[in-house]
Amino acid sequence: MNTTTAPESAVDPRRFKSFAEFYPFYLTEHANRTCRRLHFAGSTISLLCLVALLATLNPLWLLAGLVAGYGFAWVGHFGFEKNRPASFKRPLYSFMGDWAMYRDIWLGQVKI
């Protein structure tokens, strides 16, 4: 048995009863600076895709926004943070956490 691999988070994100309880956990799952930067980049690109969608009414911008947002985040988790995104177990809270962290980065409360 190989005991040198990093264990999955011992906290099950499904245990949180509110977003206020979940968000501190969410931040611990984003301790790696590169992961946070990738989240920020993906969220920014997603917002730009939303603007393009509204301007052109071309639904491909919606797809592009989703790919950018989740693609950048998942590269951050699997490649740098070395954990599984909480979106697999708490998709709504994770989506909310993405935008709360994005806001907090802009406000200087979370460093990138």
pLDDT tens track for 31-41: 999 999 999 99
On whether residue 76 sits in a domain, the answer given is yes
On whether residue 10 sits in a domain, the answer given is no
On whether residue 2 sits in a domain, the answer given is no
Q: How many domains does the chain have?
A: 1
* Residue 40 structural domain: 18-106
pLDDT in tens, 51-75: 999 999 999 999 999 999 999 999 9
On whether residue 7 sits in a domain, the answer given is no
On whether residue 12 sits in a domain, the answer given is no
On whether residue 71 sits in a domain, the answer given is yes
Distances in Å between the Cα of 94 and the Cα atoms of 21, 22, 38, 55 are 12, 9, 15, 28
On whether residue 1 sits in a domain, the answer given is no
| pLDDT, mean over the chain | 92
Q: Are 86 and 13 a contacting pair, CB within 8 Å?
A: yes
